[in-house]
Homo-oligomer: A and B are copies of this chain.
Amino acid sequence: MSDSDTSIHARSERFLSMLRHCQVLGLRVEHADRQGLTLRLPYSDQLVGNPDTGVIHGGAITTLMDTTCGISTACVLPEFEICPTLDLRIDYMHPAEPHKDVFGFAECYRVTPTVIFTRGVAYQTSRDEPIAHVVGAFMRMGKAGRVMDAGTRDGGQGA
């Protein structure tokens, strides 16, 4: 890894360490560089949603994907910056297989001074066989992120 990638990795871990319900899920940074972020959700009996099938409950995967998109903003920002979620969409393609970890990958496909658009997948074996697709937009809170004065309109967002 280049120095820059090391720093992206370190910032991603810092982000993740702040989110306690993510730690409970066991989320960890698998890989992070300028091209994107991969988080791992380790399989655990405690995450099983359906005892008959042993499949991880969907909420854990939603949290994985939300977190992956949110932290992937660290891949394109020069320094640590909290970027609140503006919107998030997840579409589940296939059920996850039981007894296997789930990975979340996300990249920033459009970076404007005020909003970052991210996109990614949840997968187990390969990104080409996604369990779920995800798209999310995040607000930059730096100087450029300040919204226009638009009456009662409010450009910021929930942390």
Interface residues of A (CB under 8 A from B): 18-22, 24-25, 34, 46-50, 53, 55-63, 66-67, 70, 76, 82, 84-96, 108-115, 117, 119, 131-133, 135, 137, 139, 141, 144-145, 147-148, 150-151, 153-159
Contacts and interface: CB of A to CB of B under 8 A. Distances in A.
Nearest to A115: B115
Contacts of A88: 62, 88-90
A interface: dominant SS: mixed
Contacts of A19: 49, 57, 59
11 contacts: A20-B46, A20-B47, A24-B24, A49-B84, A58-B158, A86-B92, A87-B91, A88-B90, A95-B159, A111-B148, A132-B158
A90 B18 CA distance: 22
Contact of A113 (B21, B114, B156): B114
Most chain-B Cβ atoms within 10 A of its Cβ — which of A22, A62, A109, A156? A62
Given A21-B24, A58-B70, A159-B55, A150 B108 contact: yes
A108 B153 contact: yes
Given A59-B67, A148-B113, A153-B111, A92 B87 contact: yes
Given A24-B24, A55-B159, A84-B92, 16 more contacts: A18-B57, A21-B21, A49-B158, A50-B159, A55-B84, A63-B63, A89-B91, A92-B158, A95-B159, A96-B159, A111-B150, A111-B155, A112-B145, A113-B114, A115-B115, A133-B133
